[in-house]
Amino acid sequence: MAGLLPLGCQQIKELVGLEEKTEEVAPTDTETKDAAVPETKAPEKPPVIAHEELPAVPETAQPVDDLFQLIPDGESGAYAVVRHPEAFMDYFSEGIKLYEKPIARLAAAATENPMTAGEAGKATGGFAEGREKYEKFAATVAETGLDLSRGLVVASPKGKDSDAVIMFVAKEPDALKNLLIAMEADDAEKTVCKAYSDVGYMGCADSQKALDAFKPGGDAAKHREAAEASLPGVNLDEANVIAHIQDESDGPIYLAISTPPGTQVIHVSLPNKDAEMKQAKEIFKTGSHAMLRYAQPGTGFFWFNVDMNAVKASDPQFASAPPPVDSVVNSMTGEIFIGGSSDPAGLQVQVGLTDAAPIAGVIELALAGGKELVPKSIPDIPGSKIVFEGKEIDGGSGKTKALHLNVSGIPEADAIAHMTKMDLDAWFYAHGDAATLAIGVNADNVGKLHGIVGAGASETTLVTLPKSLRDSLAKDEVNAIIHVPVDTLQGPQLRKLIDAGMKKFEMAKPELAHSILDLFAPFSSTTMWITESDEHMVVHFALRGIGNTSSDEGKEALAATVAVLGGAARESTFAALVEKYPASPYTAAYMARGGVNSDGMLAGSAIGLTAAAVAVAVPLAFGMRNEELITDLGITIEKKPEPKPVKKTTPKPKATDDKKATDTKAADDKKATDTKTDKTEEDKKAADAKAEPKKAKLIKLGG
């Protein structure tokens, strides 16, 4: 059930006011008789909702320093403080509501599939057991009088389980023990508890010895300073959980968990004495993140920045690359972006450069050798065609020559192209401060990608990322990011492709695939990034839900998700949210789920594109191809007009032209002579015909 954490809620004021309404005055009977139909005004569109950041923890959460004061001093100690435990209970509560129908659908689909029939009972049984335990836990917390609003602290002066004490506030010391017994925890009956009246908290431990030895009341400032130094990129006052363990061999490890509405972020410091961690810290670097300008809202990407001198030092072969590759290596800044693109639809690799000129030599070299190596068609696929060429492109920021590869003549590719707006094209070029490999972008749209400029991610992209990541980017603390949106798994494009692609796949029916994808419906994206300071590196992992219970928009998004899981139309349900919240950090998510102007998002989301490819490729690999795939998808493929062949004219020698002129003149003279001769003969025949009657008359007279 830990996966349900991103659905937590916290208190916040209503973000926006309601749309103004105008009153209509009903006409009298005399006014309506023989009256023309009045003009009706089009309904006003809701105002654009400005984004307002929700607080990471509610104002009522216990302050960090108040809980740090309960931790005994000691370098070898370990601790964990929880400021707002109720958030995790809210996660479970909302998760149960969201997963009830998907689990039932999965069980039904699994029962109908021979390969998964035995797993159906496990899914429903496990879910029912988890719900029962949560309901029992929530009821027992209320019965025992535990006051979770005051937070929890688990501390061990020596870093061992045997001396660990759990600090809490309740009506009586045995409240926690009674909870553990009710939940049938191991050795719950052996738990001992007491009140620490000097600090206003109670404590429980495995032994009386541990309770008596525990002395709350440490130096809060010292604990804060150590945690902040080890967790660069983490605001402790925005964290819900802060923990520390001491590893003598590799150094201290700190952990923090942030629970802003609808999101969970885990921050883990990497041990600074570990040899591999030291090497990684030398290779990765912070600073410029210009290539993030290619990140678009709703698309996935992997970005990192490395020290090229450190890379060369660690890999001699890379440092001694042959010409012209060596010039390319020397011009690389170390910044690399690999991600999707929704407009234009495709996949892209961007490599930061100090000089784009060396790429031109690589392109010419590839053209010279590639034309002989690249086949003209794909073996065993009749009608396929491959074109490999050099082509000039223009994105508005200057023209540049690109290496271009195009594949055509594959029916399945036509279907995927229609659904994803991706074509079987690949481009490689360089311009300005980046070398680009673009896949799936056709000749009409590659200029859009080429024309993107900027020093970093746009504001519309940044707002879709976790706040702590945005803060660290502003401070140049980040050296790597992986962002994976999963909203396209709930979109109509992918679901239609699954129905058509798996239509004849006997090993698994489309319904099973749909039920599995429904399990991801509560989630919108996952993000991982690394921050660093002079001595430490921290890995951050965020899981973002589709809604929350702290704002009107969040509640509506959760309600829409539940409705779709219950059978409501995806398109209209989420289109309403797009219209109402057109400037929200979640707008791209709503568009992907509702298929609203989201043709390129399936391509931009790596996981969505992968699922689409699997839905078509797996049945094809097993010989269960759907020959009517394009028809089932309702796609009409318009054939592109074939270019008319241009007849080539070869210039002829001058002597040939002179001979032709002489022959032509002789033919004309002969024709004129023949015409004259023919006319003379015709005149002679006419004279003879005229003289014939006279001749006959003379013969008669003489006879």
Phi, psi torsion values for 430, nearest 5 degrees: -140, 145
For residue 692, pLDDT beyond 80: no
Q: Kindly indicate the confidence band of residue 30, based on its pLDDT and cuts at 50, 70 and 90.
A: very low
Question: How many structural domains comprise the chain?
Answer: 3
For residue 226, pLDDT beyond 80: yes
Q: Kindly indicate the confidence band of residue 14, based on its pLDDT and cuts at 50, 70 and 90.
A: very low
Give me the pLDDT at residue 669, please: 60
Q: Kindly indicate the confidence band of residue 477, based on its pLDDT and cuts at 50, 70 and 90.
A: very high
Q: Kindly indicate the confidence band of residue 638, based on its pLDDT and cuts at 50, 70 and 90.
A: low
Phi, psi torsion values for 415, nearest 5 degrees: -65, -45
Give me the pLDDT at residue 336, please: 97
Is the same domain home to 617 and 703? no
Is the same domain home to 323 and 192? no
* Three-state DSSP state, 40: coil
Give me the pLDDT at residue 701, please: 36
* Paired sense of beta strands 192-196 and 201-205, if any: antiparallel
User: Which tops the pLDDT comparison, 243 or 497?
Assistant: 243
pLDDT in tens, 528-575: 999 998 788 999 999 999 999 889 999 999 999 999 999 999 999 999
Q: Kindly indicate the confidence band of residue 612, based on its pLDDT and cuts at 50, 70 and 90.
A: low
Query: Can you tell me the distance from the alpha carbon of 147 to that of 152, in angstroms, rounded to the nearest whole number?
Result: 9
Arithmetic mean of pLDDT, 32-53 = 44
Phi, psi torsion values for 501, nearest 5 degrees: -70, -35
Whether the link from the prior residue into 324 is cis, omega within 30° of 0, is: yes
User: Which tops the pLDDT comparison, 94 or 32?
Assistant: 94
Q: Which residues contact 259 (CB under 8 A, 6 or more apart)?
A: 5, 8, 10, 56, 57, 84, 87, 88, 240, 265
Query: Can you tell me the distance from the alpha carbon of 677 to that of 492, in angstroms, rounded to the nearest whole number?
Result: 86
Is the same domain home to 120 and 180? yes
Q: Which of 52-66, 124-138, 686-700 has the lowest mean pLDDT?
A: 686-700
Examine residue 13 and state whether it is found in any structural domain, yes or no: no
pLDDT in tens, 281-308: 889 999 999 999 999 999 999 999 999 9
Give me the pLDDT at residue 635, please: 58
* Three-state DSSP state, 131: helix
Query: Can you tell me the distance from the alpha carbon of 276 to that of 289, in angstroms, rounded to the nearest whole number?
Result: 25
What is the span of the domain harbouring residue 165? 64-230
pLDDT in tens, 407-419: 988 876 776 677 6
Give me the pLDDT at residue 194, please: 95
Arithmetic mean of pLDDT, 246-250 = 68
For residue 314, pLDDT beyond 50: yes
Query: Can you tell me the distance from the alpha carbon of 611 to that of 493, in angstroms, rounded to the nearest whole number?
Result: 11
Give me the pLDDT at residue 171, please: 93
pTM score of the predicted model: 0.78
Is the same domain home to 140 and 219? yes
Final residue before a domain boundary, out of 209, 230, 251: 230
215 and 70 Cβ atoms separated by less than 8 Å: no
Examine residue 27 and state whether it is found in any structural domain, yes or no: no
590 and 472 Cβ atoms separated by less than 8 Å: no
* Percentage of residues in the chain having pLDDT higher than 90: 46
For residue 107, pLDDT beyond 90: no
Examine residue 259 and state whether it is found in any structural domain, yes or no: no
Examine residue 594 and state whether it is found in any structural domain, yes or no: yes
Give me the pLDDT at residue 115, please: 61
Q: Which of 173-187, 269-283, 357-371, 450-464 has the lowest mean pLDDT?
A: 269-283
Query: Can you tell me the distance from the alpha carbon of 257 to that of 271, in angstroms, rounded to the nearest whole number?
Result: 18
Examine residue 36 and state whether it is found in any structural domain, yes or no: no
Q: Kindly indicate the confidence band of residue 437, based on its pLDDT and cuts at 50, 70 and 90.
A: very high
Q: Kindly indicate the confidence band of residue 608, based on its pLDDT and cuts at 50, 70 and 90.
A: low
pLDDT in tens, 158-216: 888 889 999 999 999 999 999 999 999 999 999 999 999 999 999 999 999 999 999 98
For residue 487, pLDDT beyond 90: yes
User: Which tops the pLDDT comparison, 278 or 68?
Assistant: 68
Within 505-655, strands assigned E span: 523-532, 537-545
Query: Residue 79: in which H helix or E strand, if any?
Result: strand 78-82
For residue 400, pLDDT beyond 50: yes
Q: Which of 366-375, 548-557, 623-632 has the lowest mean pLDDT?
A: 623-632
For residue 579, pLDDT beyond 50: yes
284 and 306 Cβ atoms separated by less than 8 Å: yes
Is the same domain home to 183 and 284? no
Q: Kindly indicate the confidence band of residue 607, based on its pLDDT and cuts at 50, 70 and 90.
A: confident
Is the same domain home to 276 and 177? no
Q: What rounded mean pLDDT belongs to the chain?
A: 81
Arithmetic mean of pLDDT, 5-34 = 35
What is the distance of C-alpha 595 from the center of its chain?
15
* Three-state DSSP state, 9: coil
Give me the pLDDT at residue 45, please: 46
202 and 195 Cβ atoms separated by less than 8 Å: yes
Report residue 9 as tokens.
Answer: 């809620």
Amino acid at 123: A
Give me the pLDDT at residue 19, please: 36
Is the same domain home to 361 and 416? yes
Final residue before a domain boundary, out of 632, 647, 679: 632
Amino acid at 98: L
Is the same domain home to 202 and 310? no
Q: Which of 274-283, 292-301, 327-336 has the lowest mean pLDDT?
A: 274-283
Examine residue 674 and state whether it is found in any structural domain, yes or no: yes
User: Which tops the pLDDT comparison, 412 or 624?
Assistant: 412
Is the same domain home to 213 and 88? yes
428 and 363 Cβ atoms separated by less than 8 Å: yes
Give me the pLDDT at residue 703, please: 39
User: Which tops the pLDDT comparison, 555 or 659?
Assistant: 555
For residue 23, pLDDT beyond 60: no
Give me the pLDDT at residue 398, please: 75
Is the same domain home to 443 and 554? yes
Give me the pLDDT at residue 164, please: 93
Is the same domain home to 479 and 351? yes
Is the same domain home to 275 and 219? no
pLDDT in tens, 65-94: 999 999 987 666 899 999 999 999 998 998
pLDDT in tens, 164-177: 999 999 999 999 99
Arithmetic mean of pLDDT, 369-380 = 85
Give me the pLDDT at residue 657, please: 52
Residue 291 is given by DSSP the state G
Burial (0-12, 13-18, 19+ Cβ within 10 Å), 300: buried
For residue 325, pLDDT beyond 80: yes
